[in-house]
Amino acid sequence: MRNLLKRKAMLLLAMLMLLPFVHVLYVTASPATRALLRELEAQQEQANRYVTQQQNLLAATRHEMSEVMLELLELEEKMFGATRRLNEINFNLLAVEVRIDDAEEELEIATEERDAHYEIFRARLREMHERGPVHMLDVLFRAESFSDFFMRLEFIRAVSQLDREIMEQLEHYVEQVDSTIEELERLRIGLVGLQEQELQQMQLIRDMEIEREEWFAQLEQDEERHAQFLAEAEYDRDRIRQLYVATQVQLAEEEEAERQRRIAAERAAAEAAHAARLADLERGPFAWPVPARTHVSSPFGPRPDPFTGRQVHHSGIDIPAPAGSRINAAQDGYVRSADWSNGGWGFNIVIDHAGGYSTFYAHNSLNRVVPGQRVTRGQHIADVGTTGRSTGNHLHFEIWVNDVPRNPMPYFGR
């Protein structure tokens, strides 16, 4: 962050140092400013591409971080499942081991009981063997009656049968318990195998968790680095954009200044030309009546009527000018008339001069003199307008010699 602030300060200083140079370009070199603008456009495109690249890298890193986080959650869920299964296996294994212990204890008791009965049976057989058949016959012959004899005989057979049945039951019971122990042992071995498998699976999950956690830590570093790069790229892009906008403003001001200079030069040239033409016109016996304009839109002589299109004689000249432009007296004299004409001339003025000359001014927006008033050459007598039968703002001007209209142009200087 400290390096970023330092870099921003250096770039700001560079911009401040560049501003006087840019101002010089503004004053002296539009081509150089345009070249600078093109260079800044290229730099701006490059900066935008770099910002987009860093944005994509940062987005890709964050997307991968989310994927790794999901993987860690899945591994955590798998670890939880494996732990739950291992607990069940341990519980079942403990139950089987308890049952094995109980069965082994039961087997030991059954074996002892079988062996005890076996010893009794062996003792009886040994006694019978030692006493021999005479003893058995003696028992039988002691019978007091025939029925007693058969009862004694049946008792001897029953005892022998009971001994055999007890021995067989005890042996079968021992075999059952032993078989149960074997089955429980096989179950215990299977559970031990499952226990080892779950432990191996848990170790594998833990190894994967460690690997994913290490990769997530690396992605966090990458995210921080890409975020820093993006911040620097956006700062550079904004700096270039500011310079670009400033250069655009500078170029626009430059072009506007050049345009104003050309307008001023054209205006000065036009004014100079107008002044020269007006000076030429002013040298004649009559002065030009509209100082603001020297152009003649319709000369003296035949022309199409602007309203009917028919060929008519134009008894004067038309000088177009903006409404309100000044109309001057062409020569010293007296105002014969200054009124409104119903013949289509609108407001008009007639001035009589020495030597039988008269001048006529028509379509005025305002007459500034009255009949009988003396006027001098160049005096402001009316304003340009479009009153009467007119198609636009202009002065209709005539020169009369003994009240006969003549072409006014030869009466002006050249």
Three-state SS string across the chain, please?
CHHHHHHHHHHHHHHHHHHHHHHHHHHHCHHHHHHHHHHHHHHHHHHHHHHHHHHHHHHHHHHHHHHHHHHHHHHHHHHHHHHHHHHHHHHHHHHHHHHHHHHHHHHHHHHHHHHHHHHHHHHHHHHHHHHHHHHHHHHHHCCCCHHHHHHHHHHHHHHHHHHHHHHHHHHHHHHHHHHHHHHHHHHHHHHHHHHHHHHHHHHHHHHHHHHHHHHHHHHHHHHHHHHHHHHHHHHHHHHHHHHHHHHHHHHHHHHHHHHHHHHHHHHHHHHHHHHHHHHHHHCCCCCCCCCCCCCCCECCEEEECCCCCCEEEECCEEEECCCCCEEECCCCEEEEEEEEECCCCEEEEEEECHHHEEEEEEEECEECCCCCCEECCCCEEEECECCCCCCCCEEEEEEEECCEEECCHHHCCC
Tell me which amino acid residue 302 is. P
pLDDT for position 53: 93
Q: What is the pLDDT of residues 41-83, one digit of tens each?
A: 899 899 999 999 999 999 999 999 999 999 999 999 999 999 9
Question: Under CATH, what is the fold of the domain 2-250?
Answer: Helix Hairpins (1.10.287)
Residues in the chain predicted with pLDDT less than 70, given as ranges, are 1-29, 117-118, 121-163, 167, 414
189 burial (CB, 10 Å; 0-12 / 13-18 / 19+) is exposed
Tell me which amino acid residue 216 is. F
pLDDT for position 358: 98
- Distance (Å, whole) CA 149 – CA 140: 6
- Distance (Å, whole) CA 408 – CA 112: 162
Tell me which amino acid residue 397 is. F
pLDDT for position 159: 60
For domain 290-411, give the CATH superfamily: Glucose Permease (Domain IIA) (2.70.70.10)
For residues 181 and 103, the answer to whether their CB atoms sit within 8 Å is yes
Q: Kindly report, as residue ranges, where domains of CATH 2.70.70.10 are found in the chain.
A: 290-411
Tokens of 55: 């944005």
Tell me which amino acid residue 57 is. L
- Distance (Å, whole) CA 252 – CA 260: 12
Among 155, 162, 152, smallest CA distance to 120 is for 162
Q: What is the pLDDT of residues 271-299, one digit of tens each?
A: 788 777 777 777 789 999 999 999 999 99
List phi, psi (to 5°) of 302: -70, 145
pLDDT for position 271: 79
- Distance (Å, whole) CA 413 – CA 130: 186
Q: Kindly report, as residue ranges, where domains of CATH 1.10.287 are found in the chain.
A: 2-250
- Distance (Å, whole) CA 104 – CA 94: 15
Distance of CA 201 to the CA centre of its chain: 45
Tell me which amino acid residue 92 is. N
Rg from Cα positions in the chain: 66
